[in-house]
């Protein structure tokens, strides 16, 4: 029943999958357009790199939440001793 307590978040996993699919799409498009126009291929590669930035901002938020939870649990354990 952790699903209803939000102890385990699924959004980071979903975001990782979406990012992976988008990178694969960019690679496929870069290969597809690479033979006809080199500039487009470079643009698709740059798009794959630039696309990572918003994903990282969101993932940092989730990681901060995870680290804060660990700190809180450690402080509670020390307080119980």
Q: pLDDT, tens digit, for every residue of 56-65? A: 999 999 999 8
Rounded distance between C-alpha atoms, residue 60 and residue 66, angstroms: 10
Q: What is the DSSP letter of 37?
A: -
pTM: 0.75
Regions of the chain short of the pLDDT cut 50: none
Give pLDDT, residue 1.
54
Give pLDDT, residue 5.
76
Give pLDDT, residue 33.
85
């Amino acid at each position: 029943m952790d699903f209803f307590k939000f102890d385990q978040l699924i959004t980071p996993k979903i975001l990782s999958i979406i990012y992976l699919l988008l990178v694969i799409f960019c690679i496929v498009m870069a290969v597809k357009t690479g033979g006809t126009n080199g500039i487009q291929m470079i643009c698709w590669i740059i798009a794959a790199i630039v696309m990572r930035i918003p994903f990282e901002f969101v993932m940092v938020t989730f990681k901060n939440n995870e680290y804060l939870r660990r700190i809180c649990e450690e402080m509670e354990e020390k307080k119980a001793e």
